[in-house]
Amino acid sequence: MVNRRARMINPAEIRILEQALGTLAEGFADLPEFEADIDSAAIARVLNEVAVKMRDNYPYHHPRYAGQMLKPPHAVARIAYALSLWINPNNHALDGGRASSAMEKECIRAIAGMFGLNEPLGHLCGGGTMANLEALWVAGRLKPGQTIVASSQAHYTHSRISEVLGLGFEAIPADTEGRMAVEALERRLAAGGVGTIVATLGTTGLGAVDPLPEILELARQYDARVHVDAAYGGYFILAEGLAKRARCAFEAIGEADSVVIDPHKHGLQPYGCGCVLFRDPAVGALYKHDSPYTYFSSAELHLGEISLECSRPGAAAVALWATQRLFPMERGGNFARSLDRGLTAARHMWQSLSDSDSYRPLLRPETDIVIYGPKGNDAQSVSAHSARIFDEAARRDLHLALIELPGAVAAAHWPGLKMNRDRVRVLRSCLMKPEHLDWVDDFRQVLEDSAAATAQ
């Protein structure tokens, strides 16, 4: 039964924050009395204006939002982040954020342990783009002048980052399941000049999981580094419901040279919170630099000495620490079970659409992304109908996404569809919220009504 009374703001969160702020303030009570002067009426007026403007958003927090990868932060992360802002720590040098730097290091150890990494080098950063940039920067320093390759379904930032770093980049074709084609990768490696292979677990478009064990074997054969972009999918290593092939890929992450994961995706964190890990801590020597005024407060390693970013919000580390404290990164725990609910929801939705007269589900989900299109005879009419359904479903408060499938992928999963354009536009749903499992039947009804309302 769907809970129709779900509300956006739980007053208990405000009370918890107020209590925690009191505890925080007690730690500084011995300082000489001081209070910043604020104009409460003016602030209230402006914030009400902000609240009105913020209504102009999709309802990302609600189960009826199933479009892009926008998962709401957990209450503990929201509250911890807000709490930390009364200190506003900077996790660059230890004197800018002693407590939050210690929390960050604990978080890194927990995430590394999830992948079976012992004492790696790592830190939090602004998101997956910055994390991948650091990994490829290190790769370029260790394999100077050599090409970076990634699947044609990998995130577009890899080609952009390579350009920024002055490194060559080439896309390796994907197979009809959206995974890097191993045969094509081997042909490119045999041609020489490849320094780093980017494996994606899973892709942000289709949710596909590249065949990491096979990629690692080829990398060893051809002396290439392997970087795993698990920004979206990394936490699924904790889930029980992965298919065997995907499970083998995730369990091989610890053998890669570097890995990126985004706690602000499945990790229940506010934006931006990314993480980069290097299996060999010796790469920290590549970050070596000096600052005449920053690192004097402690002989202990400062996080700014192992990151490209300088100022970084300690609030992100505080929020992540609090979340991992409440939900340990372990299989069988509450956090892992919430990931499995997303996997189950995706499969349930895919299966539910299999008997629909209006839709054809495509690419059986490997993660929590579902791809499906309205039934039709050719790519052009399906693409046009998908766009109409996208708009109609939004009018009915169900928010989806659209994706352009390459012709080869569409042909493999939709025999008989006339490809009168290079790509076919279909619908895409990210079922990232554990609540989505309870809403699949509701989605199906809205989808059926939207298809009927937009049929031509």
Query: What residue spans define the domains of the chain?
Result: 94-326, 334-454
Which CATH number is associated with domain 334-454?
3.90.1150.170
Kindly tell me if the per-residue pLDDT of 1 is higher than 50. Answer: no
Kindly tell me if the per-residue pLDDT of 406 is higher than 60. Answer: yes
Mean pLDDT (whole number) for 15-43: 94
Per-residue pLDDT at 36: 86
The predicted model scores a pTM of 0.94
Mean pLDDT (whole number) for 29-55: 94
Per-residue pLDDT at 341: 98
Mean pLDDT (whole number) for 34-55: 94
Q: Residue 2's pLDDT band (boundaries 50, 70, 90)? A: very low
Query: For 187-222, what is the HEC assignment?
Result: HHHHHCCEEEEEEEECCCCCCCECCHHHHHHHHHHH
Per-residue pLDDT at 306: 79
- For residue 323, give both structure tokens: 């979340």
168 upstream amide cis, omega within 30 of 0: no
Kindly tell me if the per-residue pLDDT of 361 is higher than 50. Answer: yes
Mean pLDDT (whole number) for 248-272: 97
Are both 94-326 and 334-454 of the same fold?
Answer: no
User: What are the tens digits of pLDDT across the range 306-345?
Assistant: 788 888 999 999 999 999 999 999 999 999 999 999 999 9
Q: Residue 300's pLDDT band (boundaries 50, 70, 90)? A: low
**Percent of the chain's residues with pLDDT above 90:** 89
Reported CATH class of domain 94-326: alpha beta
CA 183 to chain centre: 28
Mean pLDDT (whole number) for 213-237: 98
**C-alpha to C-alpha distance for 327 and 335, rounded to whole angstroms:** 6
Per-residue pLDDT at 304: 75
Cβ pair 447, 398 in contact under 8 A: yes
Kindly tell me if the per-residue pLDDT of 297 is higher than 70. Answer: no
Cβ pair 373, 414 in contact under 8 A: yes
Mean pLDDT (whole number) for 178-182: 98
**C-alpha to C-alpha distance for 75 and 10, rounded to whole angstroms:** 9
- Identify residue 217 by its one-letter amino acid code: E
Kindly tell me if the per-residue pLDDT of 292 is higher than 70. Answer: no
